[in-house]
Every structure is written in structure tokens, then in C-alpha cells.
Amino acid sequence: MFGALLAAEGTLPGALADVAREFSPRIDIGSQPDRDVALDLSGVERLFGDARTIADELRRTAADRGIRVRVAIAGTRTAARLLVRHRVGLTVIEPGNEAAALAALPIALVADPAFTIEPHDLLATFRQWGVRTLGELAALPSDDLAARLGADGLMWQRLARGEDPRPLVPSMPEERFAQSLDLEWPIEELEPLSFVLSRLMEPLSVHLERRDRGAAVLHVRLHLVKIDDTTPEVHERLLQLPAPMRDARTLRTLALLDLESNPPPAPIDRVEVAVDPTPGRIVQFSLLTRALPTPERLSTLLARLHALMGETRCGSPALVDSWKPGVFEMKSFAPVDANVVQASGLRPGPALGPEAWSLRPDSKPPRLALRRFRHPIPARVRVKDAQPEYVAFDRRGLSGGGVESCAGPWRTTGDWWREGWDRDEWDVTVSGGTTYRLFRARDTDRWFVEGVVD
């Protein structure tokens, strides 16, 4: 059993939907949200009584809120919506009598935008055929109608018979995941603010868990005490979370670490927290590979590092398409799960660890690799016949000696319009058996060791 409500013009936004939700949690808001609402009344007879009593209660509840409505109850949602548009007051049709109740209604009702029927030029076609009512449309042979008008003609006929074109998809109320608290006394330190955030995050986490949602973005709004004309009214921070999460302690810690790096400029007298919800995270663990840290632990660690080192100094290094030696850029740290890499057939990378190379039998680690030093180390080099002959270092752990073999030079230069480079590079093997990458800066005629070959 379904009901339909049609409100008069000028109804407040959301008022009609609020009335409908008092009788059923399953409602369908039409193309005119402030005027047209259908609701599923299956099972509510045990609470409110028969269909006539439910219709009276719907109309009385709407009248108490200053809303004038039409009410129709029928066995299908389509029949109730067609009847409520044609008849004023209360209309109750027993289940199974929808086609007979709709037979005398004008065919123009089906062309209403509320039923999303396209194209509307079919109305003119039916009138040319002499079809004026829904009963006459419902009585047409379906096969012949489909041959002449296609699927659109059949859809019009099913509506004229009171058949629902699709199951009812409940319209969910717009939920706001937010908490706020007015403080009796302004606070300035982060320690008392942490207690306030804990008090706000706990119910927010419970709300997310009940709805099986996670926080994708965390909003923190701090209303400040006006000290002078330069003091802003609100200090707002936005945190993009790497994965959906709803743990109260993690959300509080992330907010505190961000505020530690970006403190408010004045005392706080009101705190608001809100999240942008997203579907909850589904985790499938593997018995064969080591699990990555949870997003909560990883986000907390990154937030602590950002607060300590700065947001631009933490992340994953990424290569840059440039000939400049040692150039790279920092990107957000996002480790890749080894199971995903194995399933996709990609070659494991350094983010997975050495054990990832054993996932595929045809994958082998490289035999030679240059372990580049973060800052080149000064070196003393004796040159003979334009080639390095002896190398010495002042750094512990690096063994110099006579050059047994060398390759080079490779001359590179670039970025002359800004802080560029101009140098000659050599690969040398010293008497101890270690191979180094050396270079000579041509502008200063100084030697450096850039890395060691492992």
C-alpha cells in the first residue's frame, strides 16, 4: 500500500518530507520536492489503523504545521500519484482496483513532469487517435502499441494501468556529520582544546559507525574572541584524509597536530568539527604478505612528521624528467599494497620492500645500483693524463686509494639561466675494490663523490 501527498504552493522546503517521514521511513520525493511526496505504507496499519485512518492522520498532521495537502492511498505508487493530482481531499482505493479508479482520469495526467515521461508529443498522437482517458489508453492492444510507438508507448500504457515503472528507491534525508560546543570560558592552549575535541569526536565517531561511513575530509572551525580589528572571526582548518576513517582518537590527534603547526591567533570560544562522509573502508588481509600499517596509524605518523619537519619536507621522492643529477620532487606518501601489484602484473617497486621481488619468479633485483649520497662528499683527486689516478676522502666509512680502472668523462651541463650545473663525471674503481661516481665541478674545479655503486 502506497500513499501520495500533494501540497499547495508556497510550502516550506522540506516540510512535506518531514510530515511523510513521521509515518514511514521509505519515502520517494518527486520532481517537485516541496509539493510531491510518495510513501510506502506497508506495515504501518498496525501502528495507525486502516488506510482511511492513515489518510486522516496524514492530513491532520500536515494541517497542524500549516500545510494544505491532498492525500491519496492506493495499491501502487503510480496510481496514488495520479489520483492525488486529479482529486482534492482524501482518496482511498482498495488494492487491485487501481485500473478501474484511473479509467476516467484524463490522459494528460501521464504527461506530467513528475512521471519523467519523454517525449510529451505522444499526447498529441493519442488525441489524434481519439484516446482521451487513461482507461482508453490501458485498453489498447499492447503489441500494436509497441509496434507503432515503441517503448515509450508501452511505458505510457503501464502508467495508465497504475503499474509502477520501477521499485521505490527511498530518498535518504540529508545527514550532517557535525558537532559543536560553546565554551563557557575562552581557551588559548592546545591541551584544554584536546579535551574539547575529544568530547566532540566521540559522538561524531559513533554517528559515522552507525551509518557505516568514514571521514574523507575533516573540517575544524574555531570561533575566536575579537581582540582587535585584525583578529579574524573564524580560524578554519581542512584536513584531507588518505583513507576513510572514523576512530575518534585518530581524528582528534590529526586535528591537534594540524593546529600545532597552524595555531589560532586568538582565544577560542566556540569549536565546531564536521566531516565529509564517504562509504566505509573494506579491508581484505592476506596470509602470504605482510600487512601495511593501518591508515589511522599512518595518518597519525605523517601528521607528526609534518608538524615536526614541515608539510613540504615529508613524503615520497619521485623522479623528475630532467637531465639534472639528483633532482627529485616530493609527493604524498601512499604505499602500494603488494597484493594489488601482483594482481595487476606490475613490477614491484621500492615501496614494497625487498620481499616483494619474490612474488613473481621472473622478477629479479638489479645487479648494480648507484647509492647516491644526499649531499655530494668533497674528495681529493690526483689527475694524470687527464684521468683520475688517486682518490682520497675525509669521510669515515669511505675508503680511497689508487684508481685501478675508470670510465669517463661524461660532460653534462644545464639550467644555465638559473642555478645550473656544469661538470665532468667519472666512474672509478679504487684499489680496495669499491666503485665510486666522481664528478668535477668545472666552474670551481673541485671534486666530489656523488655515490657508491653497490
Decide: residue 270, CB within 10 A, 0-12 exposed, 13-18 middle, 19+ buried.
middle
pLDDT tens for 131-153 read 899 889 889 999 998 998 888 88
Residue ranges of the chain assigned to CATH 3.30.1490.100: 178-279
For residue 353, what pLDDT is reported? 40
Closest CA to 328 of 311, 341, 315, 309: 315
Residue ranges of the chain assigned to CATH 3.30.70.270: 2-160
Pairing mode, strands 178-187 and 90-92: unpaired
For residue 235, what pLDDT is reported? 92
What is the rounded distance in angstroms from the CA atom of residue 64 to the CA atom of residue 91?
20
Closest CA to 23 of 47, 50, 7: 47
For residue 182, what pLDDT is reported? 92
Beta-carbon contacts of 290 under 8 Å, excluding residues fewer than 6 positions away, are 353, 355
Confidence of residue 346 (pLDDT cuts 50, 70, 90): very low
The domain made up of 2-160 has a fold known as: Alpha-Beta Plaits (3.30.70)
On the question of pLDDT at 351 being above 50, the answer is no
- End-to-end distance of the chain based on CA atoms, in angstroms? 77
On the question of pLDDT at 361 being above 60, the answer is no
On the question of pLDDT at 309 being above 80, the answer is no
Backbone angles phi, psi at 57, to 5 degrees: -70, -40
Q: Range with the lowest mean pLDDT among 18-32, 131-145, 217-231, 364-378?
A: 364-378
Confidence of residue 354 (pLDDT cuts 50, 70, 90): very low
Cell numbers describing residue 380: 681529493
Mean pLDDT of the 374-394 span: 87
For residue 270, what pLDDT is reported? 92
On the question of pLDDT at 273 being above 90, the answer is yes
pLDDT tens for 34-61 read 778 888 888 888 788 888 888 888 888 8
pLDDT tens for 176-212 read 889 999 998 899 888 899 999 999 999 999 998 888 8
The C-alpha cell 519515502 sits at: 27
On the question of pLDDT at 89 being above 90, the answer is no
On the question of pLDDT at 78 being above 50, the answer is yes
On the question of pLDDT at 223 being above 90, the answer is yes
What is the rounded distance in angstroms from the CA atom of residue 59 to the CA atom of residue 220?
43
Mean pLDDT of the 67-77 span: 86
On the question of pLDDT at 326 being above 80, the answer is no
Query: Would you say domain 178-279 falls under CATH 3.40.190.170?
Result: no
What is the rounded distance in angstroms from the CA atom of residue 77 to the CA atom of residue 135?
18
409 cis-preceded (ω within 30 degrees of 0): yes
Percent of the chain predicted with pLDDT > 90: 9
Confidence of residue 120 (pLDDT cuts 50, 70, 90): low
Higher confidence at residue 250 or residue 288? 250
Percent of the chain predicted with pLDDT > 70: 87
On the question of pLDDT at 155 being above 80, the answer is yes
For residue 220, what pLDDT is reported? 93
